[in-house]
Amino acid sequence: MTANLFTPYKLNDTLTLSNKILMAPLTRCMADDDLVPTQQVADYYARRAEAGLIISEATIIRPDGQGYPNTPGLYTPAQINGWRVVTDAVHKNGGKIFAQLWHTGRVAHPHFFGGGDVLSASAQAVEGTVPRMRELVYQTPKAASLEDIKQLVADYAQAAANAIDAGFDGVEIHGANGYLIDQFLHHDSNRRDDEYGQTPENMSRFALEVVDAVIARIGADRTGLRVSPGAYFNMAGDARDRAVFDYLLPALSQRQLAFLHAGIFDDSMQFDYLGGSVSAYIRSVYTGTLVGVGSYTAEAGSAAIDANKFDLLAIGRPFIANPDYVAKVRNGDELVPYAETMLAELI
């Protein structure tokens, strides 16, 4: 009933996945205080190497991208070396792993990087506090200057090069879930009146510049992107956002990315302004490989792939609860249900 998940999938001439199950990126806040992944982190990923592709937990491209404690980075030699231990362990077990490249934008907090500006598209704060750190109220960000934007694009490209240095098979640019790139793509957070704001073309410009800079550095065959056309996390929805993604997604179709990955917690959510679910909307305007995600069981994901709703299935929370998720599904074994208390340790 899930047999179609267990056939190989060719992403491009460089990469073929041994099955269609991806491990979704999952922030675990378990890097050491220099934001270096530890041996426990390597062991955690190695146990999950049977996934067709692991997408790493979101990994910050530079210090001011940090919005949660002990999230790993990819900008110091020690971090690159730490990741090399992880990628070696995954490869040794026959797996493949991409690094998810992250800058949280206005969801960053200076508490984590010793003070200084929080950057975003515009000076529009997100309401609330850092999760589980209620004393850390989100700040009003500084609207990135043209100079800041240039540097950010260069820093994404450098982090991508560092990821390849660290032995990753490629990168997924985190353009989803209300973080920096997504903040340029939604009217809630982008109020700019320069060439990065107001029109779909302008609002897509930063995302496309990052994608193009990463492609120029490591190749489109090793570059994926995650996007959230439906605002649901760290972001308010706006019907005008539809036109932005109507422009962006066909522009991305031209770029021969390894894949595009939906960013959503529950793909049964319907968005009026998208005319349905996030995956159905993306499928209608994007022609390349699409990774579906969001509260899917293996059976429901397999049926969705059968119905051509997307090409690959990413699994998040069940992979936290079941390191051997792929083997269990293949054998029809019962899964351990996910519980939030499991976030306290790496099993």
Enumerate binding residues for ligand FNR (CB under 6 A): 24-27, 57-58, 100, 174, 176-177, 226, 263, 265, 293-295, 315-318, 343
Beta bridge partners of 299: none
d(C-alpha 144, C-alpha 21), whole Å? 37
d(C-alpha 55, C-alpha 259), whole Å? 12
CB 83 within 8 A of CB 72: yes
d(C-alpha 318, C-alpha 324), whole Å? 10
Residue type, 165: D
Q: For ligand FNR, which is the closer residue by CB, 54 or 293? A: 293
36, 120, 142, 184, 256 from 123: Cα distances, Å:
31, 7, 5, 12, 34
Q: How far is the CB of 70 from ligand FNR (least distance, A)?
A: 13
Choose from ligand 8K6, ligand FNR, none: what does 226 bind? Cβ within 5-8 Å by kind: ligand FNR
Q: How far is the CB of 175 from ligand FNR (least distance, A)?
A: 9
Q: For ligand FNR, which is the closer residue by CB, 141 or 178? A: 178
Q: For ligand 8K6, which is the closer residue by CB, 68 or 83? A: 68
Q: Cβ neighbours of residue 230 under 8 Å, at least 6 residues apart?
A: 237, 264, 269, 271, 274, 278, 281
Q: Is 115 helix (H, G, I), strand (E, B) or coil?
A: coil
d(C-alpha 347, C-alpha 345), whole Å? 6
Candidates 27, 70, 151, 158: give the one binding ligand 8K6 (CB under 6 A): 27
Instruction: Find the binding residues for ligand 8K6 in span 224-263 (CB under 6 A).
Output: 232-233
Half-sphere exposure of 228 (CA within 13 A, CB side): 27
Interface with ligand 8K6, residue 112, by CB under 6 A: no
Q: How far is the CB of 201 from ligand FNR (least distance, A)?
A: 25
Q: For ligand 8K6, which is the closer residue by CB, 184 or 247? A: 184
Q: How far is the CB of 58 from ligand FNR (least distance, A)?
A: 3
Interface with ligand 8K6, residue 58, by CB under 6 A: yes
- Active site members: 179
Which residues here bind ligand 8K6, judged by CB under 6 A? 27, 58, 68, 232-233, 265
